[in-house]
Structure 1
Amino acid sequence: MVNAAYFQYGQKFNKISILGGLRYEYTTVEIDQFTSVFKDIKNYGNLFPTVNIGIETKEGENVTIGYNRRIRRPRGRFLNPFQSLSSATNIFRGNVDLNPVFTDAFDIGYLKRWEKFTLSTSAYYNVSKDNWEFIIQNTGKETENGNEAIYERFPVNLSTSERIGFEFTLTFKPFKFWNINSDFNIFHVSTDGDYTNPDTNLTTNFDFKNTSYFVRLNQKISLPGKTDIQINSNYSGPSENRQSKNKGIFSMDFAASKEILKEKATINFNISDFFNSRKRMSTTLIPGFTEQYSEFQWRERQISVSFIYRFNQTKIDKKKKGGQEFNGLEEFEG
């Protein structure tokens, strides 16, 4: 249960604008196992300030400076102490003592507008304390055939994590019918912390440094005949930490929409994960034991076609009344 109250205040002085806010949260977490006497209740209250300063250096150009404090709460799966079997050799269990992660975030940004370009850049620094780390250890048990060891994975509040990065966003309209929006983010993460297994007294060091990036490219093309096409491409660069290495992931979504019957109807065609490449491929390093390679795909490529007919109403009428089209093309936007 999360209860909160907040207030905001903003003021502008010539070309300088200030927006500040303060949020207070009081959280209660109760875990009750009805089949035993186990019961755990945690209460904690926290303040979350926010300060943003904007400076308009000239028309169409401004600089921003900001700070805010954030919270990331553990989901129910991370708190559930009962084991879940993801495969014959891998077990996941939650941790009832897991606490939220608090992050202090600082950033400085620059925005510039031209006739066909909008450029936005930001340099940021985040520091998180009691960061979650997922411990992987050998249970000492084997599968039924006795050929493979069984490993257990669980989260703990362990490390301090620092992230420093740079983000570059560009909006470009080369022609009236073609909109391009791209984003590039590169960041360096450093983590430090140690975990000691209470059963074996084996200590694992989580000190690690890694640099990674991700790229996003969205394009919307308006063709003659009331036809729109949108292509969204994403690439997350390879990353690693002390216990795992993840390969890069590329994915692309495609959508097309055409108005027919004097704009009373719409045909939508969508392909989600065009190349069927949205897969998480990782190698897990288990200290003193072995390496495990795994692939995970949440959903394979999907192709869908839909037909929408608006009775006594055209798409233009719907927009004038403030309605929103939830066809496949619009869903990709934003």
Structure 2
Amino acid sequence: MAKKNKTAKSAKESINKVSYHYRPDNMTLQEWQIALRRQAAMKEKFAISEHNRKEYPGYYNVVNSVTRNEYRVVYRGQDSPWNYCSCMDFKTSQLGSCKHLEAVKLWIEDNHRKVCRDIPPYTSVYLSYQGERKVCLRIGTDNQEEFRRLAAPYFTPDGVMRPEALDSVTEFFRDAVRLNNTFRWYPDALGFILEQRDQRRRVQLLPEYASDTALDKLLKTKLYPYQKEGIRFAFRAGKSVIADEMGLGKTIQAIGTAELMKAHHFISSVLIVCPTSLKYQWKKEIERFTDSKAIVVEGNHLVRKKLYEAEETYKIVSYNSICNDIKILKSLHTDFLIMDEVHYQNFYEFPIKSLNYLVIICFDL
């Protein structure tokens, strides 16, 4: 057995390494990026287990043996539109793959497991991350014809949600459950639908809420035209990057966006993460330019836990403290996250619950 494992390891090591810096001539850009993730999967130490095949066909758990981070992977064959991983890389790369999914492929190959390609009996609504995100429908084997008729006003024949169904698709969810109680929709799909509705509402309200006249009354300071435009952009986008050069008022734009959101009841809490040296500068500027109070989250971890729960809208914390707090508390809650000097940080490391809006402040991108 040891000899067999050694041979398998040697076979993997004998595969030509893919350069991280130059795309091989015989690969497309997408093939190269997937090959890099497969190469990373070969190096990582993952513990992989399969769910109950009957209840959850094609579902796997992938645990990083070093970090102990756990990921949920669905694999239904090469290039299947139903492949999925809960990691951020899968959700943002638009490749339809990641190192965890590639690790599952390797595990299936090494253990001679059968890939589950069967269409499950249940019908489901899911969020596709291949290319532009879109809400999709997969019709299962149970009640196929009934589900096709029910879905026709909401989804195209190839299963993509119609743009005009954004407001009414939840009615389909209700009727689908009545048709068959095994019907399911996944949280990221529902979250995307609500996010799109929210964004459309902000766009509709922008002319009234963010006119020059309205923004002139927003803060206790005069805003320059480019700062007003920055606030409008961040309000409309929901999640944005402010990357003006130093001294052009990125902090004012972030505070202005938060105040605009708060004034019209989009948010009730703001968490600002910044370098230690800037904590009290943020507090000073918030209280100088707004009527809101701000608190600095510091002290031992028990004190910080209470400060996170305080009534004040603005909480300010350093990167060092929040990294420690996330290890202890596992996650934090805020409606609006501002990350200052983020070009020195990896914001994917911050699992913030109920995060609806984000402003990243950096320069020299």
The TM-score, its normalising length taken from structure 2, stands at 0.25
Structure number having the greater strand percentage? 1
Higher relative contact order (CA 8 A, sep 6+): 2
The TM-score, its normalising length taken from structure 1, stands at 0.27
